[in-house]
Structure 1
Amino acid sequence: MKKLLTIAGSDCSGGAGIQADLKTFAAFGHYGMSAITALTAQNTTGVYGVVPTPPDFVRQQIDLIYDDIAPDAVKIGMVASAVLIETIAAALAKHSVKNLVIDPVMVSTSGSRLLDEDAVSALRHLLLPMATVITPNIPEAEALTGLRINDKKSMAAAAEAIAASIPTAILIKGGHLTDTADDLLFHKGQYDWFESKRIDTSNTHGTGCTLSSAIACGLAEKKSLYQSIADAKFYLNGALRAGLNLGKGSGPLDHFFTHPSRH
């Protein structure tokens, strides 16, 4: 059993954030741990309140996890301030983090910017360069580059622009494309496309959290980055196709769609 750590915010409704991450780790048969960066009051219809965790307390959570059950892979999600990003980066550097997947949560589903300029700068210069892979969606890739992305050609241009300043693998998720949901992995000058048909469902709450956590599971299992992403995509598509329909808004995925009770 591998050990995985998620550093992210809590979603009280269970569809995204650390709850989605821990469910994903469990679905892959691994032991999950969490360092909570914020409490949120939200449900499938939106986010209604956020209480950030004091940075020193986030640091204490990370240090105590590493001192006792060192993780085989780490996933980072919601980190809302520059000081918190600086704190996490310092803690992970101290513990020589390995297999780090960062889902740079910069833009909300409704299109609202979640990070101020100081936080974006800290994210770009301190945290993202530590990652094995970063997984921005199209609005987040636009925020990192200032480019407009509306097709696969502009996705490739954005990946190159990000790679020019951030020396890590970049997976730009194509869920915001109109005709497909193809993802692009760009690393060391090589392009790999993960083709996927768009799944007709409005229940997509937590897809980004789930995909990045599933990739971390593959890396913890010592799979290649390409195979980790391919397996994560397969898992995510299954969780979407399962057709779980909960809540009044954008509902959650079925993280345990392979469980015998589902059949």
Structure 2
Amino acid sequence: MNYHQRPQVLVLSGLDPSGGAGIQADIQAITALGAHPLPVISCLTVQDTRNVYNAVAIDPALIRQQLDCLAADTPFQAIKTGALGNAAVVDTLLDFLADKPDIPLIVDPVIKAAGGGDLADQALIERMRETLFARADLITPNGIELAMLGNDDDLATAASNLLNAGCRAVLATGGHGTGSHIENTLFRAGEAPQCWHIPRVGGEYHGTGCTLAAAIAAGRAAGLSQPEAIEQAQRFVSHAISRAMAVGQGQPVPDRKSPPAS
């Protein structure tokens, strides 16, 4: 019997009990865009639609066992990371990927929740900046994260600092900004920035950053170029926001059930 096959995305991300962000958002976005997720939980959180109150990393040895088990059985065409828990998880992932240099890695460098709760300590931030970013095909920080990671409040300068430190590409996302349009800007070494302007729907939504990065990973797994995957992901996020759900007392949650009509 010939079974149907889909592109597959390995995901390392945190568990959000509200179902709005983290690995649930990744699973939904990747599935909706026609790929199959291979989810490995990197940390557990105490979280609702308003904020993150605590986070605990999963034992890196257990994560490595899961990664090795999957790799021995299942091919995957892209990797996406979200909240990683601690620096030791970064080391575990990089060691696992050492013999897989050609698989695109999409890194959502999750540092803080929208409500201000911490999802990364300084050791994890430094390890991502010093080691993980150089391996990534693309990182997708929001404006607050980019300013912290690139050590400058000017986002173009911050992105340039990261590129000079070895990062291959930075997608500066504008969902946390203001104005009538969201501006997402792709910075790549030696190339002019590439900008997208998307109409802003009022307010902020729980899990949009996770959704965008996961959707990009699904596109890359399907063989899309980096800009093509970004464009597809942006359309998907806009569609999901237009159908947002009221889950709790905080931010609405994008409805990632299906992609927009082509």
TM-score relative to the length of structure 1 = 0.91
Q: Distance in 1 between matches of 2:189 and 2:50?
A: 40
Task: Judge conservation of contact 1:155–1:184 (CA < 8 Å) in 2.
Answer: no
SS for the counterpart of 1:195 is: strand
What is the count of residue pairs matched by the alignment? 254
CA offsets per residue over residues 224-247 of structure 1, 9 Å max, x none? 100100110010000001132222
Matched AA of 1:85: V
Matched AA of 2:111: M
Change in CA separation of 1:245 and 1:236 when aligned onto 2, cut-off 3 Å: same
Counterpart position of 1:256: 257
Matched AA of 1:2: P
Counterpart position of 2:80: 75
Counterpart position of 2:222: 221
Task: Show structure 2 runs of 5+ residues with no match.
Answer: 1-5
Matched AA of 1:182: E
Change in CA separation of 1:22 and 1:97 when aligned onto 2, cut-off 3 Å: farther
Q: How do 1:60-71 residues align onto structure 2 when only pairs under 5 Å count?
A: 60-71=65-76
Tell me if 1:51 matches 2:53.
no
Matched AA of 1:248: Q
CA offsets per residue over residues 26-58 of structure 1, 9 Å max, x none? 101221111111112322122233232001111
Q: Distance in 1 between matches of 2:249 and 2:122?
A: 34
Tell me if 1:41 matches 2:52.
no
Tell me if 1:237 matches 2:242.
no
Q: Distance in 1 between matches of 2:219 and 2:29?
A: 11
Tell me if 1:102 matches 2:107.
yes
Counterpart position of 2:17: 12
Q: Distance in 2 between matches of 1:98 and 1:89?
A: 12
Equivalent of 1:116 in 121, 146, 157 = 121
Equivalent of 2:201 in 196, 199, 202 = 199
SS for the counterpart of 1:88 is: helix
> How big is the shift at 1:259?
8.7
TM-score relative to the length of structure 2 = 0.91
> How big is the shift at 1:107?
2.2
Q: Distance in 1 between matches of 2:60 and 2:72?
A: 18
CA offsets per residue over residues 196-217 of structure 1, 9 Å max, x none? 1211144x11101100000001
Query: Which runs of at least 4 in structure 1 moved beyond 4 Å after TM superposition?
Result: 257-260
SS for the counterpart of 2:198 is: coil
Q: Distance in 1 between matches of 2:79 and 2:27?
A: 12
Q: How do 1:145-160 residues align onto structure 2 when only pairs under 5 Å count?
A: 145-148=150-153, 154-160=154-160
Which sits farther off after the overlay, 158-167 or 223-232?
Answer: 158-167
Task: Judge conservation of contact 2:55–2:119 (CA < 8 Å) in 1.
Answer: no
SS for the counterpart of 2:13 is: strand
Q: Distance in 2 between matches of 1:96 and 1:243?
A: 37
Which sits farther off after the overlay, 82-91 or 226-235?
Answer: 82-91
Counterpart position of 2:163: 163
